[in-house]
Amino acid sequence: MQRRSLLILGGVAVAAGIGKVALSAMNAVSSPMQNESSGASGAIAQAQQDSSTLAQARKQPLLRFVATADTGSSNENQYAVAAAMTRYYQQNPYKLVVLAGDNIYTDGEIDKINSAFEQPYQALLKNGVVFRACLGNHDIRSANGDRQVQYPGFHMPGRYYTFRDKAVQFFVLDTNVNTDWSTQLPWLEKELSRSNAPWKIVYGHHPIYSSGVYGNTQGFIENLSPLFKKYGVQLYINGHEHSYERTRPINGTTYVITGNGGAHLRAVGRSPWTEYSASRYGFTAFEVFSDRINIQAIATDHQVFDRGTIPLKVA
């Protein structure tokens, strides 16, 4: 009986495909079976320990990252959000911050980079956390945002770009009014079509579905969302609305607005597809697993005020 349960335990580890830790746990399971002289109680204790190790392995995400937007106000609210991001990092280390635009208020002046970026996030930057930015409407007011694109701390290979981190491929858009969609849209479709990443996440500054003061962006609903559906984009992240909102999946895509990163808050309502919305300072944390993405909205007082999950749908 013990032998059968142990074998099942090992089978789960293989089926879940959860990597070296799980496999080492599975190997450890085989040891007491080979040495039955250690006795039943020893085997049970070993199985319990192994089960605990497996549970820990399952809890470890493939990738953890956070997202924030509408940050660059250099004010106490931005610093409070940054402090919350730092505290979360200390308890849940991450290597990536999605910085979804309006990185420097009011006019994207690069000479404010210290107060609007380097100071508030200094603890994260010192630890090697990588910020990957996109351009917001305020960012293009100076030199059309070119100096932000060139700023090394924003890790932008261009005005729009893609990068992959383990199981996730990110597609970063320039959603501003003066962007050249005649080149960006075909680029996006080409990159989406050739991606074999199980998780595809797109981010840009402007909303697509929103219950904030700007509301939906009809042009993006018509031109971007169909691509998301066609190529299985599970998540779109943006700011611009100075609030937080998470939708239920709309044609397979969850839309998360995290524009509560420092600029003055604005009201947000609800729509039929809204799972949760709040006008509250904070940031959003994402934990990517092989079978799901867990989402947490975290406030400056460190409270988790929204939780959601995106399950991986296998086509």
**Rg of the Cα trace of the chain?**
22
Stretch that binds Fe ion, among 7-15, 94-102, 243-251, 304-312 (CB under 5 A): 94-102
Our CB check for Fe ion shows the closer of 102 and 165 to be 102
State yes or no: residue 64 binds Fe ion (CB under 5 A).
Answer: no
Phi, psi of 20 (to 5 degrees): -65, -40
Give residues 117-136 in contact with Fe ion (rule: CB under 5 A).
Answer: 136
Task: Report the nearest approach of Fe ion to the CB of residue 115 (Å).
Answer: 19
Spatial separation of the C-alpha atoms in residues 176 and 166, rounded to whole Å: 29
Which amino acid, residue 128? G
State yes or no: residue 72 binds Fe ion (CB under 5 A).
Answer: no
Spatial separation of the C-alpha atoms in residues 122 and 83, rounded to whole Å: 10
Task: Report the nearest approach of Fe ion to the CB of residue 242 (Å).
Answer: 8
Stretch that binds Fe ion, among 152-160, 217-225, 235-243, 245-253 (CB under 5 A): 235-243
Q: Do you find a cis peptide bond into 106, omega within 30 degrees of 0?
A: yes
The token pair that represents 193 in the structure block: 């079509």
Task: Report the nearest approach of Fe ion to the CB of residue 138 (Å).
Answer: 6
Our CB check for Fe ion shows the closer of 137 and 216 to be 137
Residues that bind Fe ion (rule: CB under 5 A) add up to a total of: 4
Q: How many CA atoms lie within 13 A of 283 on its CB side?
A: 30
State yes or no: residue 102 binds Fe ion (CB under 5 A).
Answer: yes
State yes or no: residue 240 binds Fe ion (CB under 5 A).
Answer: yes
For residues 87, 19, 237 and 155, what is the CA-based torsion angle, rounded to 10 degrees?
70
To 5 degrees, how large is the angle CA 126–CA 127–CA 131?
Answer: 85
Stretch that binds Fe ion, among 46-54, 158-166, 220-228, 234-242 (CB under 5 A): 234-242
The token pair that represents 275 in the structure block: 């799972």
Among 5, 24, 137, 274, binds Fe ion (CB under 5 A): 137
State yes or no: residue 207 binds Fe ion (CB under 5 A).
Answer: no
Interface contacts to Fe ion, rule CB under 5 A: 102, 136-137, 240
